[in-house]
A and B are shown apart, each in its own frame.
Chain A
Amino acid sequence: MTTSAPSRRTTVAVIGAGHSGLAVSHRLSAEGIDHVVLERGQVAHSWHTQRWDSLRLLTPGWMNRLPGLGEPLLGPAHVDEFLTAAQVASLVTGYADVISAPVHEQVAVHRVSPATDGFLVETSAGPWTADHVVLATGSVRGVLPPLAADLPPGLPSVHAIDYRRPSQLPPGGVLVVGAAASGVQIAAELQASGRQVTLAVGEHVRVPRRYRGRDIFAWIEEVGILDERWDEIDDVTRARRLSSFQLVGGTADLDLNTLQEAGVRLVGKLAGTRDGSALFSGSLTNMASLADLKANRLLKSIDDAVGGTGERLEPTRVPDPLLSLSLTSGEIGSVVWATGIKPDHSFLDADVFDHKGAIRHDGGVTHLPGLYVTGLPVLRRRRSTYIDGAREDSADLVSHLTERLSTSTPARRTG
Chain B
Amino acid sequence: MTETTVDNGVNVEALLGARSALQEAPEAAKFTWRATNTWVKGTHSKSKVEGFFGLGEEQETDRSFEADGDHPPQFAADNQGPTPVETVLVALGGCLTAGVASIAQQRGIQLNSVTATIEGDHDIRGILGADADVRNGFTGVRVNYSIDADASPEDIEALVAQSQKRSAVFDVLTNPTAVSVSVS
Contact = CB atoms under 8 A, between A and B. Distances in A.
A367 to B, nearest CB: 15
B116 to A, nearest CB: 15
Given A283-B164, A286-B165, A355-B26, A293 B174 contact: no
Contacts of A271: 174-176
Interface stretch (A132-140, A274-282, A394-402): A274-282
Contacts of A279: 175-176
Interface stretch (B39-47, B65-73, B155-163): B155-163
Contacts of B26: 355
A231 B170 CA distance: 33
B9 to A, nearest CB: 23
Contact of A289 (B24, B140, B161, B174): B161
A194 B93 CA distance: 44
Interface string B159-184: 00110110000110111100000000
B62 interface: no
B154 interface: yes
Given A283-B170, A286-B164, A293 B157 contact: yes
Contacts of A94: none
Interface of A: 203, 237, 268-269, 271-272, 274, 279, 281-283, 286, 289-290, 293-294, 296-297, 321, 355
Contacts of B24: 355
A281 B174 contact: yes
Given A269-B175, A274-B176, A286-B164, 12 more contacts: A203-B165, A237-B23, A279-B175, A283-B171, A286-B170, A289-B157, A290-B158, A290-B162, A294-B158, A297-B154, A297-B158, A321-B140
A282 B170 CA distance: 9
A289 B143 CA distance: 14
Contacts of A281: 174-175
6 shortest interchain CB distances as A-B pairs = A282-B174, A271-B175, A286-B164, A283-B174, A272-B176, A289-B161
Given A296-B154, A297-B154, A290 B174 contact: no
Nearest to A203: B165
Contacts of A268: 174
A37 B158 CA distance: 47
Contacts of A321: 140
Interface of B: 23-24, 26, 140, 154, 157-158, 161-162, 164-165, 170-171, 173-176
Helix, strand, loop or mixed for chain B's interface?
A: helix
A321 B171 CA distance: 16
Nearest to B162: A290
A286 B161 contact: yes
Name the residue in A271, A281, A286, A297 with the highest tally of chain B Cβ atoms < 10 Å from its Cβ.
Answer: A286
15 contacts: A203-B165, A269-B175, A271-B174, A271-B175, A279-B176, A281-B175, A282-B173, A283-B164, A283-B171, A286-B165, A293-B157, A293-B161, A294-B158, A321-B140, A355-B24
A294 B157 CA distance: 11
B15 to A, nearest CB: 14
A115 to B, nearest CB: 29
B16 to A, nearest CB: 10
A282 B172 CA distance: 10
A279 B165 CA distance: 18
Contacts of B140: 321
A279 B170 CA distance: 16
A355 B158 CA distance: 31
Contacts of A355: 24, 26
Contacts of B165: 203, 286, 290
A170 B154 CA distance: 45
Contacts of A203: 165
A297 B173 CA distance: 29
Contacts of A274: 176
Nearest to B139: A321
Contacts of A237: 23
A285 to B, nearest CB: 9
A293 B154 contact: yes
Contacts of A296: 154
Contact of B175 (A272, A289, A293, A294): A272
B100 to A, nearest CB: 13
Contacts of A282: 173-175
A203 B26 CA distance: 23
Contacts of B154: 293, 296-297
